[in-house]
Amino acid sequence: MFLGTFRRLVSVWRSSSHPPSRHPLSGSFGSAIRCAATVLQKLPIEQLQRRFNRLKGFLGKLQWPAITHFQAFGEQHQLPLPARSSPDVLKEPTLDELAYMSGFFDGDGCVSPNTRLSGCRLYLTQSSGNGEALLLFHQVFGGSIMADRRGIGSQRPVIKWSLYGQAARKAAASLSKASYVKRAQLQIAAEWPFCKIECEKLAITLSALKRSSQPLEGTGCSWSYVAGFFDADGHMCISLHGTAVRLGFTQKHASILETIREIFGQEGSFLARRVTLTASALNRNRPLAASACTDQD
């Protein structure tokens, strides 16, 4: 194991009579690190891979302690964050905020009928260290924020925002106005009937909508929507040589990615030529990915 090798190297270094070399990483720790790096460089790749797999397996068994707070906007917020439903305490969103929230919900949100089919619930999950979007949904629509899953290894704990009942109907109606990917699902949630037979039919329809790609409703999307969608499903990386920044989106349905490509293309032909849509031909279960690459100034 790495730990045993490291200890042996530290022991050898301490017993050495040679004075430490002048190096940026001077001292016992720096010398041990350099020795460990030298030893690892001589190990065959197969042995390194086995050690890596053992270390990864060990990390996957380490469970985080139960969390009592989540982070948002640089502050700690106590869990659970109770439901708020009174109109007096709810925030009235601007059009840009509503578009952002619709984009975020299209990327990470879920519409699901409750067990009794008396209505639908809306929910979102996020890392406990990035609760800004969930806090915004809580401030605008109400609902509660609770701990959902404990962290394991390098994966942080997860928190969940959820909304039920009449409040979920109102939120679904508002989000559907600026939604593209989940508009049909949100409209079903907003207009959920009281007839049990109709409820059973709509539950089947909701399940089918989650599995199939639907034509987008509406013409073009705003930058606020794209910002929300990016915060939910996007990623950013810098090229190997540091000459470009790449923005990427991943989705299992290509229609919204085509729409996002169009709005990026409106910024000019230079950017439009660098926006690509890719799909895996080898693995049908792998999501499609749209990426935009722009050179740094």
**Cβ contacts of residue 284 below 8 Å, gap of 6+?**
none
Gap between the Cα atoms of 187 and 189, Å rounded: 5
Gap between the Cα atoms of 1 and 160, Å rounded: 38
Q: What is the pLDDT of residues 70-119, one digit of tens each?
A: 999 999 999 999 887 666 779 999 999 999 999 999 999 999 999 899 99
Per-residue H/E/C for the chain? CHHHHHHHHHHHHHHCCCCCCCCCCCCHHHHHHHHHHHHHHHCCHHHHHHHHHHHHHHHCCCECCCCCEEEECCEEEECCECCCCCCCCCCCCCHHHHHHHHHHHHHHCEEEECCCCCCEEEEEEEECCCCHHHHHHHHHHCCEEEEEECCECCECCEEEEEECHHHHHHHHHHHHCCCCCCHHHHHHHHCCCCCHHHHHHHHHHHHHHHHCCCCCCCCCCCHHHHHHHHHHHEEEEECCCCCEEEEEEEECCCHHHHHHHHHHHCCCHHHHCCEEEECCCCCCCCCEEEEEEEECC
**CA triple 220-121-197, angle to 5 deg:** 100
Q: What residue ranges do the domains of the chain occupy? A: 2-59, 69-211, 239-295
Q: What is the pLDDT of residue 41?
A: 64
Q: If you average pLDDT over each of 61-65, 165-169, 211-215, which comes out highest?
A: 165-169
Yes or no: say if 225 and 178 are a contact pair by the CB < 8 Å rule.
Answer: yes
Res 256 pLDDT > 60: yes
pLDDT grade for 285, boundaries at 50, 70 and 90: very low
CATH architecture of the domain with range 69-211: Roll (3.10)
pLDDT grade for 242, boundaries at 50, 70 and 90: confident
Beta strands 110-113 and 144-149, pairing class:
unpaired
Q: What is the pLDDT of residues 11-62, one digit of tens each?
A: 544 444 444 444 444 455 556 556 656 655 667 888 888 888 998 888 888 9
Q: Evaluate if pTM is beyond 0.85.
A: no
